[in-house]
Structure 1
Amino acid sequence: MVEKYLTGSEEETFNLGVQLARKLGPGTAVSLEGDLGAGKTALVKGIAKGLGVRDTITSPTFTIVNSYEGDVTLHHFDVYRIDDPEELYEIGWEEYFNPNDVCVVEWGDRVSQMLPPGALRIRILRDETQPDKRTILVERQDQE
């Protein structure tokens, strides 16, 4: 089943992230997908707020992962610059995906084979005719 949301600004995308965080219990993995500038980091900032994170959220483009403490620990990955998925094993990729934490992976479609079964897939699509409009599709992946 796919849930569809429409947002008209970065603030609305952020607020949707806050709402979506209520559905993310410990142990949840999220594949976040969309073009450059689609609003992935804005959505993660909202998810973080919804999970009780008080720190400033920044995209981990060069560090690969940032971890934040809140009501639950949030691990925020950005795998855009990963050339070989093996690089993720070098940083302890598998250890982040545990039953106590939430993991959000920007560009998750690039490493979909490495995500745990049942990961939540969130796709952000831009409206080419209205630059601030986004269609956000949320889909739970099949358990294996």
Structure 2
Amino acid sequence: MKQTDQRQTGRFRRLWRWLPAVAWMAVIFVLSGREGDELNTVLPLFQQWMPWMESFDWGHYFAYFILALAFDFALGGRADRWSGKLLIVALCGLYGVTDEYHQSFVDGRTPDVLDLRNDCIGAAMAVALTAIPFIRKRWRRIAP
């Protein structure tokens, strides 16, 4: 009986670790549902200062950087392997595709392959950052 309880507790912990990723995916979903005229005015201002960054949307970059960290937390030690890192970027990219599809139903918004590119860049940068040994060690203290 005790061993069964331990298995159930372990399963519950593994499922619990996915909560930040699911919550952040909900945040992204809500933000991508904003109509075109509701969008933040920071992006055009930023692009005015740095015109060479015109096609780069920092909102997508940061949203998917955070999502990748949440997926890393969910996967735990499995995220330390390269297969885990590739899975994280793939999951972020897949969610980015669904996000762009969702935007096709929102007034004033259209799907954009450049947004998907920025999503994947953000995810890849998070994975690359957490692959650096001293950062990985500190990250595992926070997210064992």
TM-score (norm 1): 0.29
For the pair shown, which has the larger CA radius of gyration, 1 or 2? Answer: 2
Higher share in helix: 2
TM-score scaled by structure 2? Answer: 0.29
